[in-house]
Amino acid sequence: MALLRASGEYTGDDYDLSAVLGDSGEDTGIPHADVLIRLAETAIKFDDEATDAARDAVIERMGEAALVDAAAIAANFNAIDRVADAIGIPLEDEKAAISADFRAELGIDEFGRASLPAAAE
Amino acid sequence: MSSLSFDAAPLPVRDDIAEALPQVWARIGQPGTWLTARERVAVAAESRNARYCQLCAERKDALSPYAVQGEHDSLGKLPDDKVELVHKMMTDPGRIAGHWFEALKDGGLPETEYVEIVGVIACTVAIDTFCRGIGMAPPPLPEPQDGAPSHETVGEEHLNRGLAFAPTLDPFVDGPLQKEFFPAGPPTAAHIRRALSSVPDTQRDFWRIANVLYMNGLQMRDFSTEYRAITHAQIELVAGRVSAINQCVY
């Protein structure tokens, strides 16, 4: 999410970071956020029927190459999240510092294991 | 020969993905560093089976997952401690705790095997999720190949035991693996890039996939150029939504 905010700062856009917590995506400021979020949600839950519809929507609005890249990102983070949690990887100090405000605001610190530097076991 | 190919994919797949994922999928069917090929394929199979486990469902719903006792619904190809690892990582990764890792270790699961299993699960999850995302069935399991694990060790003096539950390669110690895995030097060695590094081939396999599915470190922060068919913002939106569902802070 720090990179999402950083990309918005670069382009001068003010993105609604709460979209990642399950917002519909309609008011995020990110084009086609609604269909991308739907694809991410359904693909990682292995809900094939819902994924079919989400996939069609992404292709219709954004094209096949966008669908491939969106599926690739969902796949990567569905795996890398598990690696981070299974190995017990903490956030880097500098990343923890720059994300502290929105983590607290959005309730991300309440996730199952707060992998913050001070919380590393 | 891999049992995964994108030649008949329902839509064109980038060349780097079409090359990397089948290679790593075939690697799961080969002897690893600490696990036999048969064990690695069993881990991949069990990772697919875990979402049907009743015990895992009950633990996922519980306020304290560690208080719920019972037996996993497993395929019966792995010992209990490895089934516990696979199921936990698949069904409730956000609540994995250090004491749980220590209990597995104290029960006899070597941390080397733990790390390799984590890597095999991660590669399986990534490949299965990508296939489903583009409308392809996940590939058949690879056929286990004969041979013994390599038992490649990195040396205790190269390990950092203070960063995470499991040991990681210490980027601040000079060595060939550090140069390979952290070519820009210790200050830029993101913690996640160190996660699987205590088992080098596991590190190589996972990042072979991750680098093509996502972007490399320089591309991630280069907002002046779009390297994919979706923008940086769209990429990080998808990444953030997936991580939120997985309850992953990192």
φ and ψ at B169, to 5 degrees? -65, 135
Average pLDDT over residues B138-157: 97
Q: Do A111 and B247 touch (CB under 8 A)?
A: yes
Crossing angle for the helix pair B232-245 and A33-44, nearest 10 degrees? Answer: 40
What are the pLDDT tens digits along chain A (121 aa)?
Answer: 667 777 777 777 777 777 777 655 567 788 999 999 999 999 998 888 899 999 999 999 999 999 999 999 999 999 999 999 999 998 887 777 777 776 776 776 766 654 544 433 3
| B169 touches A at CB < 8 Å | no
- Per-residue model confidence (pLDDT) at position A94: 78
Residue B221 to residue B53: CA distance in whole angstroms: 40
Q: Which of A20, A65, A92 sits opposite B240 (nearest CB)?
A: A20
Chain A residues with beta carbon closer than 8 angstroms to that of B244 = 20-22, 108, 111
On whether the CB atoms of residues B171 and B182 are closer than 8 A, the answer is: yes
- Per-residue model confidence (pLDDT) at position A119: 39
Instruction: Write the burial class of residue B160 (CB in 10 Å: 0-12 exposed, 13-18 middle, 19+ buried).
Output: middle
Identify residue B164 by its one-letter amino acid code.
Answer: A
| A89 touches B at CB < 8 Å | yes
* Predicted ipTM of the assembly: 0.95
- Per-residue model confidence (pLDDT) at position A118: 44
The pTM score is 0.91
The residue assigned the tokens 């694809």 is A39
Q: Which of B85, B236, B249 sits opposite A7 (nearest CB)?
A: B236
pLDDT digits (tens, 9 = 90+) for B159-200: 999 999 999 999 999 999 999 999 888 777 789 999 999 999
Residue B13 to residue A72: CA distance in whole angstroms: 10
Residue in chain B closest to A80 (alpha carbons) equals: B122
Q: Which of A11, A36, A89 sits opposite B191 (nearest CB)?
A: A89
| A72 touches B at CB < 8 Å | yes
Residue B224 to residue A10: CA distance in whole angstroms: 8
Q: What is the pairing mode between strands B168-169 and B159-160?
A: antiparallel
On whether the CB atoms of residues B3 and B143 are closer than 8 A, the answer is: yes
Task: Give the residue with greater pLDDT, B132 vs A48.
Answer: B132
**DSSP code of residue B160:** E
Per-residue b or e along B77-90, where b marks 16 or more CB atoms closer than 10 Å to that residue's CB: ebeebbbbbbbbbb
pLDDT digits (tens, 9 = 90+) for B91-108: 999 899 999 999 999 999
pLDDT digits (tens, 9 = 90+) for B187-234: 777 899 999 999 999 999 999 999 999 988 788 888 888 999 999 999
- Per-residue model confidence (pLDDT) at position B115: 98
Q: Do B132 and A48 touch (CB under 8 A)?
A: yes
Residue A12 to residue A80: CA distance in whole angstroms: 29
Residue A84 to chain B, least CA–CA distance (Å): 6
φ and ψ at B199, to 5 degrees? -125, 90
CA dihedral sign, ordered A41, A43, A44, A49: positive
Q: For chains A and B, count residue pairs whose Cβ atoms are closer than 8 Å.
A: 280
| B62 touches A at CB < 8 Å | no
Mutation pick from B60, B129, B226, B247 vs chain A, by most beta carbons of A within 10 Å, is B129
Radius of gyration over every alpha carbon of chain A, rounded to an integer in angstroms: 16
Residue B76 to residue B24: CA distance in whole angstroms: 25
Chain B residues with beta carbon closer than 8 angstroms to that of A109 = 249
Identify residue A20 by its one-letter amino acid code.
Answer: V
Lowest-pLDDT range of A19-23, B131-135, B138-142, B165-169? A19-23
Collapsing DSSP to helix, strand or coil, B168 comes out as strand
Q: Which of B85, B237, B243 sits opposite A19 (nearest CB)?
A: B237
Residue B213 to residue B208: CA distance in whole angstroms: 9
Identify residue B64 by its one-letter amino acid code.
Answer: S
- Lookup: tokens for B250: 């990192």
- Per-residue model confidence (pLDDT) at position B132: 95
Residue in chain A closest to B112 (alpha carbons) equals: A87
- Per-residue model confidence (pLDDT) at position B229: 94
Residue B144 to residue B27: CA distance in whole angstroms: 9
> Secondary structure of chain B: what % helix, strand, coil (to 5)?
55, 0, 45
Residue in chain A closest to B99 (alpha carbons) equals: A121
Q: Which of A32, A68, A103 sits opposite B14 (nearest CB)?
A: A68
pLDDT digits (tens, 9 = 90+) for B13-64: 999 999 999 999 999 999 999 999 999 999 999 999 999 999 999 999 998 8
User: Would you say residue B155 has pLDDT above 90?
Assistant: yes
Chain A residues with beta carbon closer than 8 angstroms to that of B135 = 51-52, 55
Rounded to an integer, what is the distance from CA B199 to the centroid of its chain?
Answer: 12
Sorted by sequence, the CB contacts under 8 Å of residue B133 that are 6+ apart come out as A39, A43, A51, A55, A67, A70, A71, A72, A74, A75
Radius of gyration over every alpha carbon of chain B, rounded to an integer in angstroms: 18
